[in-house]
Structure 1
Amino acid sequence: MAVKVLVVDDSSFFRRRVSEILEQDSDIQVIGFAINGREAVEKTAQLRPDMITMDVEMPVLDGISAVKEIMASNPTPILMFSSLTRAGATATLDALDAGAMDFLPKKFEDIARNNEDAIKLLQAKVKEIGNKRIPRAFKPITHQKPAARSVPDKISNTVSSIRQPDRSFQRSTTASTLTKTQNNVPTRASGKQYKLVAIGTSTGGPVALQNVLTQLPANFPHPILLIQHMPAAFTPAFAARLNGLCKIKVKEAQQGDRLDPGTAYLAPGGQQMMVEGRGGSKTLRVFEDNSERITYKPSVDVTFASIAKAYQGDVLAIILTGMGADGRDGARMLKQTGATIWAQDEKSCVVYGMPQAVANAGLSSESLALDDIATRIKSETGCG
């Protein structure tokens, strides 16, 4: 059955363009249009689309407010179209918090290397998102200011070990700690020692990362690398937002950054992020990648491959919601060194693509609901 789409935009040209692209795919049917957010709310109730494409900036009622009203009255998967500006990034992140599932740049030339690839990506996202069902009791994300960080933003491994009198995270490899996830599933920490946590994600990732990272304590014992498929204009705003919400420090990665515990480093959009160095101190290499062979910039595979060389098996790597299979090859390299790989489960994913690729390849040892991942990370790393 075709995915039924409501196209919302105040530009008649853009409405027509989106409609023409979508209806090139026989599995997609555009069933209506709305020229502002208020009309979008009304037509969602009237037409009951499977998904909505939504502009951010519109008269009468803007896209963010429309998302909030739709999610409160008739929860429906929504794909935002956004300008690649600082203001556009902030507004889009607000829309995701309100309940939108994903976003794309409004200029198609910013979506992919060529027009044909951009068309295929838009069609694929609409079909993936349109087949997702949202609980009627959907609740938008509300931001709560975290408690003040009790430790300096930049700390060394030596200071980290000294300021924890009980050294609870320095467990022997024979330790076994019984915990329960939020779904009351009993789990045991493996007792494995780690030096790094790495998380890769795409569609649905901004909300998923926020869910996980806001639950981690300020004294988290390891550095964290974040690889989120996202345009260059968006990653500074996203890193700043996470930093304001989390107890740990979150920053957009920069060339030469030293990896410190209690800090998460977000790969910059449009670039690749790799770890360099063996032994003690590790630093980040951030660089432009003009290769047409690698689709994603940043790429989970690229970062994971470098981690496998730098850290060997002392890594907890997690693949969250996202389209495609980015992360599978990198996870395989990590697995070969003895690293631990987890994947988000299908039910809690916006798109069960990347986690499914890892799970089907037999690389992940656990399949976890999103709401349980932070609890398991804290247990596994000894800081729960």
Structure 2
Amino acid sequence: MAVKVLVVDDSSFFRRRVTEILEQDPEIKVIDFAVNGQEAVEKAAQLRPDVITMDVEMPVLDGISAVKQIMQANPTPILMFSSLTREGASATLDALDAGALDFLPKKFEDIARNSDDAIKSLQNKVKEIGRRRLSRFVRPSYTPSAPTAAPSTPLSSGQTRPSIAQPDRTFSRSSAPVSPASPIASARASGKKYQLVAIGTSTGGPVALQTILTQLPANFPHPILLIQHMPAAFTPAFARRLNTLCKIKVKEAENGDRLQAGVAYLAPGGQQMMVESRGGSRTLRVFEDDSARITYKPSVDVTFASAAKAYSGDVLAVVLTGMGADGRDGSRLLKQAGATIWAQDEKTCVVYGMPAAVANAGLAAESLPLQDFAQRIAKEVGC
């Protein structure tokens, strides 16, 4: 069965271009268009598409408001298109706040080395988030989850911007409440000593990272490395937002940063981040990578591999929701060095790709639901 897509954009050229790209894949079918957010809300209810592609800036009703209304009335996997500007990055994060699952730059040449790769990236993202719903949930009914306890980000106008929200991303056809977090009070720490926590993720990662990081205490005893597949224009805004919401400090990593306890370092988009040992201290090397051999920039594999070399087995590595298998090879090197690897479970992933690759390779000591990670990490590292 083809993935049914509703394309939403006020530009007739962009609607036509997205449709042409998507329908090159026989497993995707564009079923209709909407030219503004209000029309998108109405057609989402009428047509029940498997995926919606959504522009941010539109007349009548903007994309962010449309996402909010759709997720309240007819929750549907939504892929946002965004401009690669500071304002576009902020708006895209707001769309994730509202419940969108993922995003892509509007200029396709900004997401890949060539047009063929860009086309495949769009097609694959649509199929991944659409098929997950098709395979597990036929007709969704929305059950809101409990709000997060994270504080809001203050704005200059005196208003507040919400943290990245936690809508019911299971799109469950059951009207029963979402099951609570699994019991973790009885889970015992391994007793292993750590010096570093490293977390890699992709599709669905911004929400997953915020869910975990906002629950960590300010006195977290180790540095944290964050590798999120994200364009360069987005990582500064994402780091700033996390820093405002979290008790720990969060910053976009810079070349030469000395790793400090209680600080999370987000790998800059479009670059690689590696750990280096120098005179008893560990610093970050952040650099441009023109290699065609490595698909992801930043790459979880690259950072994990460097952590294995710099810290040996004293690493707790976590692989969260994401498409593909980035993180598997790096996790293998970490495990060979004696490190501990945890993966997110299938049920709570937006896309069960990266965690599945790690789990299926026999590298994950545990597969945990997203809501359990923060407390389990804190317990495991002794805080």
1:332 equivalent in structure 2: 332
Q: 1:34 to 1:146 in 2, by over 3 A?
A: closer
Per-residue Cα deviation, 1:83-108 (whole angstroms, up to 9, x for no partner):
00000000000101110000000001
Report deviation, 1:144: 3.7
Aligned to 1:211: 211
Question: Structure 1 CA distance, aligned partners of 2:320 and 2:279?
Answer: 29
Task: State the partner residue of 2:115.
Answer: 115
CA contact (8 A) 2:102 2:203 kept: yes
Q: Per-residue deviation at 1:182? A: 3.1
Whether the 8 Å CA contact 2:82–2:104 is kept in 1: the answer is yes
The alpha-carbon deviation at position 132 of structure 1 amounts to 3.1
Tell me how far 1:187 sits from its aligned partner. 1.3
User: What are the within-5 Å matches in structure 2 for residues 37-186 of structure 1?
Assistant: 37-133=37-133, 136-139=142-145, 144-145=150-151, 182-185=181-184, 186=186
Code of the aligned partner of 2:118: A
Q: Deviations over 1:194-239 (max 9, x none)?
A: 0000000000000000000000000000000000000000000000
Gap runs ≥5 in structure 2: 134-139, 154-179
Counterpart secondary structure, 1:89: helix
The CA distance in 2 between the partners of 1:300 and 1:3, in whole Å, is 29
Say which SS state the counterpart of residue 88 (structure 2) adopts: helix
Q: 1:205, 1:321 within 8 Å by CA — same for their partners in 2?
A: yes
Change (3 A) 1:329 1:308: same
Give the number of equivalent residue pairs. Answer: 350
Matches of 1:145 and 1:94, distance apart in 2: 15
Task: Name the CA shift for 1:243/1:135 in 2 (closer, same or farther; >3 Å).
Answer: farther
State the TM-score, normalizing by the size of structure 2.
0.89
Q: Calculate percent identity across the aligned residue pairs.
A: 79
Could you state the TM-score of these two structures normalised by the residue count of structure 1?
0.89
Post-superposition shift, 1:325?
0.4
How far apart, in 2, do the equivalents of 1:138 and 1:104 lie? 26
Q: Does 1:302 align with 2:330?
A: no
Q: 1 CA distance for matches of 2:132 and 2:59?
A: 28
Q: Deviations 1:318-367 (Å, cap 9, x if unpaired)?
A: 00000000000000000000000000000100000000000000000000
In the TM superposition, residue 260 of structure 1 has moved relative to its aligned partner by 0.3
AA aligned to 2:232 is A
Letter in 1 for 2:344: Q
Q: How does 1:223-262 map to 2 (within 5 A)?
A: 223-262=223-262
- Aligned equivalents of 2:262, 2:141: Cα separation in 1: 34
Cα distance in 2 for residues equivalent to 1:87 and 1:113: 24
Query: Kindly tell me: are residues 146 and 316 of structure 1, through their superposed partners in 2, closer, same or farther at Cα, counting changes over 3 Å?
Result: farther
Q: CA deviation at 1:137?
A: 1.1
* SS state at 2:193 partner: coil
The alpha-carbon deviation at position 131 of structure 1 amounts to 2.1
1:281 positional shift: 1.1
RMSD: 1.6
Query: How far off its partner does 1:136 sit?
Result: 1.4
Contact residue 82 and residue 103 of structure 1 kept, 8 A? yes
CA deviation vs aligned residue, 1:225-255 (integer Å, no higher than 9, x gap): 0000000000000000000000000000001
2:173: which partner in 1? none
Q: Post-superposition shift, 1:382?
A: 1.2
Does the 8 Å contact 1:198/1:317 carry over to 2? yes
Q: Distance in 1 between matches of 2:55 and 2:112?
A: 19
Give CA deviations for 1:131-154 in whole Å, capped at 9, x if unaligned: 23466114596674289xxxxxxx
The residue aligned with 2:342 is 342
Distance, in Å, in 2 between the alignment partners of 1:206 and 1:182 is: 20
